[in-house]
């Protein structure tokens, strides 16, 4: 401790006595600066920290603040008016508090040891600031060139108050951080008066490449760059060499005033376009940054000042926007493809969900940022397997293929190998032997799947404790056997290949794009499209019962099914819903994550969709829609065959096409069934694991059953065996999972951390239009409804659904919309398949659609040509 009395020692700590473990006392920034001051060769301006003890002392002087914080915690993050009003009230209150004498004395003594009338920088340092999972950059205040004790205490109060800026409050609300748990320390440092200043990112903040450092620099204080007063000089450094530089015209700079404060000044004309740093200085700065990065163990966002030829580091925090890199344990180059983009679920998954998918997947998978990835490096390295991988990726999602080709264009990243070696089958399946076009094959496969799930339900009932986990490991092998059933794979590939054949040949012979979209309408055996139509049948049971409709409009409790019997006709409604849930209740949004609540567990999820169906459709809509699709498909078949026969060699072409139409209609519907089989098995696994979790809660091992979601399957197995759990690990996993929501998973990621973005590379998209992958033909114009949560969808007939992704659980919404736009997807992913099944014009892979399209705007979707227009 410093040489102060025991009472005042709680309030002020010197930076030199602080380390990274003391965030609770000095905040994130203070802890980082303390850590920086301990790194050899790193110069940090001398200073001290006014601790969180001081903040709590001041807050305790006004107990009424607690009431306002309670009100703030109840607000929605988008309630800007209320947030602005209440947060301003808290700031005014804090700034109006007179600093207690003993606290003021402690701060003044710290100033005396460094120079009472010297100039200081005063910076906020919140306890939830600059953490590995959450950077609060720019949310609290910094004051430069503060001179004298009175001014310094006044600015300390302002830093305390800045914990409650609108931006900081909104950030905490969005990220589930309790206002009461965050406290404010204040860092006070001697001012340095630099010749140049700026920011160093030890990883590229845009691409994520950990091998590239970026330096932004300008003359004078860094405030000119932070405020946007000038454009910075930008340098990019790789492997100790400046590989790119952009020198800006710097007309203005910010300098300190002798009496305190800062002012803008013009830069001499002859200096305006000179680099603010030499290349040698840039390289030396990056070397310092690498030393800091190694100390903290993560890429850093570093604020620096250049005085003479010496660099001073005034702040360092983790770059929390970078997507993590899978940990693989070697220094080789690797290329990873996102599993979530193939599975239509790019949200983060909890540890149990990740590990369960890994244990039941057909290829090895790695985790990063709460998402799953497949390492495709060896398949890319072999010319033989590379072509097949790129073809499969291109048919599924052209943006993935383009990203992979971008990596391959870098000659030194993926070395060429003579063969693929180990690494498993190509992502997305492999080519299959031809099979006969026989509907009985699909019937047999469906019966096999049902029998397998029934056997699992029967055999798991008596298993508990460690024996349950031994049984599940065996069940996972049966799971993979069923998933990799050669006959199942043959049927899936036969349907896909027939689709591709029809689209390619009919475009070549008739000039018709995506003809298979119409030819596959109302194909048999499609479990996912039937799921959406079946909910229309449920609506038919509810519609003539107004009391039930009124009751459902106010439903919030998951036990509402039991209450239905109290209404006239309610028993029939309950029976219809239970029948639906028995068949489809294993599904939910993000269903590849076993921890997500299934419809059978949370049936209220379906209520808004059912009520939309009651309002927007007439009785018998399901049957009419299915028959209408079948009729359109027959008419299209007749039209195509008639036109083909009129061509040279037309009879042969028509006969081949007829065989392919029969083949695609026989097999394409089954494409959705294996996923249904997977989630059916997952629900059985989940029920057994939650029963085990309940026993752990009863034994006092766990606080609540859902704690198991933050353990891997293997960890949960050990907890059941030992009857002990690491509570701290569970808490850390909860915090990490919350932070992963702020990360955007890339389609393709390299071991250098670079998120490689693909492009369509098309010249047929009109100016101003948004390009996408056309997956279901037709053109439609309508109101865009931007929906990020299925449970909050409010759709009317003619609306166009715009969302991030759709997995099978979104299918009930498809019966009531006119078109579909998603940010994620491919030609054979679930949303595309069901859009074609329902005849909805659809685009997938529209980058930034939910951000670029406003809810309620009118848009025109060109599902044949692959773009959309936002209409005036």
**629, 522 in Cβ contact below 8 A?**
yes
Would the CA dihedral through 612, 613, 619, 621 be positive or negative? positive
741 counts as catalytic:
no
How do strand 842-844 and strand 819-822 relate by DSSP bridges?
parallel
Task: Show the tokens assigned to 862.
Answer: 């060109």
Task: Show the tokens assigned to 8.
Answer: 């005042």
If one counts every other C-beta atom within 10 angstroms of the C-beta of residue 565, the result is 13
Coil, helix or strand for 474?
helix
Name the active-site residue from 334, 341, 830, 862: 830
If one counts every other C-beta atom within 10 angstroms of the C-beta of residue 624, the result is 13
CA distance 683 to 593: 11
Please give the backbone phi and psi of residue 588, each rounded to the nearest 5 degrees, phi first: -175, 170
Q: How many residues does the chain have?
A: 872
CA distance 483 to 485: 6
Coil, helix or strand for 170?
helix
Q: Which residue shows structure tokens 């107004």?
A: 546
CA distance 403 to 629: 37
Q: How far is CA 646 from CA 398, 510, 650, 655, in A?
A: 35, 11, 6, 13
Which residues does 246 contact at the CB level (< 8 Å), separation at least 6?
Answer: 233, 234
**488, 674 in Cβ contact below 8 A?**
yes
Which residues does 334 contact at the CB level (< 8 Å), separation at least 6?
Answer: 326, 328, 375, 377, 750, 751
- CA R_g for the chain: 31
Closest residue by Cα to residue 212 from 198, 200, 221: 200
Please give the backbone phi and psi of residue 114, each rounded to the nearest 5 degrees, phi first: -115, -10
Task: Show the tokens assigned to 40.
Answer: 């050899």
CA distance 706 to 686: 11
Task: Show the tokens assigned to 797.
Answer: 């007939």
Partners of 303 in the β-ladder? 199, 315
Distance separating the N- and C-terminal Cα atoms of the chain: 66
Closest residue by Cα to residue 755 from 373, 364, 323: 323
Which residues are part of the catalytic machinery? 830
């Amino acid at each position: 401790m410093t040489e102060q009395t025991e009472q005042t020692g709680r309030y002020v700590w010197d930076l030199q006595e602080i380390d990274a473990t003391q965030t609770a006392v000095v905040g994130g920034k203070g802890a980082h600066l303390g850590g920086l001051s301990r790194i050899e060769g790193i110069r940090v301006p001398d200073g001290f920290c006014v601790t969180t003890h001081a903040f709590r002392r001041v807050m305790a002087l006004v107990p009424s603040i607690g009431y306002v914080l309670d009100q703030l915690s109840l607000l929605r993050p988008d309630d800007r008016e209320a947030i602005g009003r209440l947060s301003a009230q808290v700031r005014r209150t804090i700034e109006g508090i007179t600093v207690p004498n003993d606290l003021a004395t402690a701060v003044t003594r710290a100033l005396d040891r460094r120079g009472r009338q010297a100039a200081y920088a005063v910076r906020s340092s919140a306890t939830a600031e600059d953490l590995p999972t959450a950077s609060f950059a720019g949310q609290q205040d910094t004051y430069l060139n503060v001179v004298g004790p009175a001014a310094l205490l006044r600015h300390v109060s302002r830093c305390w108050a800045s914990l409650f800026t609108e931006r900081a409050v909104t950030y905490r609300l969005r990220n589930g951080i309790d206002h009461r748990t965050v406290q404010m320390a204040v860092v006070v440092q001697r001012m340095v008066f630099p010749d140049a200043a700026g920011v160093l990112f030890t990883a590229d903040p845009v691409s994520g490449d950990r091998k590239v450092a970026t330096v932004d620099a300008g003359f004078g204080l860094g405030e000119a760059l932070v405020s946007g007063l000038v454009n910075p000089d930008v340098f990019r450094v790789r492997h100790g060499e400046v590989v790119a530089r952009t020198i800006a015209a710097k007309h203005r700079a910010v300098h300190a005033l002798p009496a305190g404060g800062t002012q803008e000044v013009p830069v001499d004309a002859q200096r305006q376009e000179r680099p603010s740093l030499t290349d040698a200085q840039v390289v030396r700065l990056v070397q310092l940054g690498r030393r800091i990065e190694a100390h903290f163990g993560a890429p850093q966002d570093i604020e620096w000042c250049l005085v003479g030829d010496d660099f001073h580091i005034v702040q360092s925090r983790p770059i929390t926007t970078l997507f993590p890199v899978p940990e693989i344990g070697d220094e080789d180059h690797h290329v990873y493809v996102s599993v979530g983009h193939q599975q239509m679920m790019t949200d983060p998954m909890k540890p149990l969900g990740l590990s369960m998918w890994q244990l039941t997947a057909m290829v090895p998978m790695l985790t990063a940022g709460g998402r799953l990835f497949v390492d495709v490096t060896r398949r890319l390295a072999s010319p033989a397997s590379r072509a097949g991988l790129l073809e499969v990726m291109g048919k599924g999602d052209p943006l993935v293929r383009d990203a992979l080709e971008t990596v391959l264009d870098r000659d030194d990243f993926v070395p060429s190998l003579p063969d693929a070696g180990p690494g498993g089958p190509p992502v997305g399946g492999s080519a299959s032997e031809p099979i006969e076009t026989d509907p009985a094959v699909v019937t047999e496969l469906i019966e096999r799947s049902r029998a397998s799930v029934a056997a699992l339900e029967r055999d798991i009932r008596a298993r508990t404790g460690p024996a349950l986990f031994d049984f599940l490991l065996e069940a996972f092998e049966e799971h993979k056997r069923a998933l990799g059933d050669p006959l199942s794979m043959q049927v899936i590939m036969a349907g896909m290949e027939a689709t591709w054949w029809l689209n390619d040949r009919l475009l070549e012979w008739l000039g018709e794009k995506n003809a298979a979209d119409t030819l596959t309408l109302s194909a048999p055996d499609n479990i996912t499209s039937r799921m959406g139509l079946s909910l229309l049948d449920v609506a038919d049971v509810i519609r003539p019962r107004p009391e039930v409709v009124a009751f459902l409009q106010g439903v919030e409790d998951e036990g509402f099914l039991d209450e239905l019997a109290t209404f006239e006709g309610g028993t029939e409604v309950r029976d219809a819903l239970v029948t639906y849930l028995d068949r489809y209740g294993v599904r939910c949004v993000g269903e590849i994550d076993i921890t997500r609540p299934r419809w059978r567990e949370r049936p209220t999820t379906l209520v808004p969709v059912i009520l939309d169906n009651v309002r927007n459709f007439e009785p018998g809509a399901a049957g009419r829609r299915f028959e209408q699709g079948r009729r359109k498909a027959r008419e299209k078949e007749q039209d195509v065959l008639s036109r083909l026969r009129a061509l040279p060699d037309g009879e042969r072409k028509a006969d081949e096409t007829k065989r392919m139409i029969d083949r695609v209609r026989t097999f394409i519907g089954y494409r959705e069934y294996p996923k249904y089989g997977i989630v059916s098995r997952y629900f059985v696994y989940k029920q057994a694991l939650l029963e085990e979790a309940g026993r752990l809660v009863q034994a006092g091992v766990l606080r609540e059953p859902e704690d198991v979601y933050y353990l891997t399957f293997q960890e949960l197995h050990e907890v059941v065996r030992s009857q002990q759990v690491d509570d701290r690990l569970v808490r850390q996993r909860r915090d990490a999972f919350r932070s992963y929501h702020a990360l955007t998973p890339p389609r393709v990621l390299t071991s250098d951390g670079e998120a490689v973005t693909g492009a369509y590379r098309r010249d047929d998209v009109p100016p101003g239009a948004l390009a996408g992958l056309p997956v279901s033909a037709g053109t439609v114009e309508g109101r865009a409804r931007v929906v990020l949560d299925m449970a909050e969808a409010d759709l009317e007939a003619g609306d166009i659904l715009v969302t991030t992704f759709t997995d099978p659980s979104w299918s009930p919404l498809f019966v009531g919309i006119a078109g579909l736009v998603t940010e994620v997807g491919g030609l054979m992913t679930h949303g595309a398949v069901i859009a074609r099944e329902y005849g909805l014009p659809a685009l997938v892979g529209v980058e930034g659609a939910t951000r670029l399209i406003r809810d309620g705007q009118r848009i025109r979707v060109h599902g044949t040509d692959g773009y959309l227009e936002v209409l005036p």
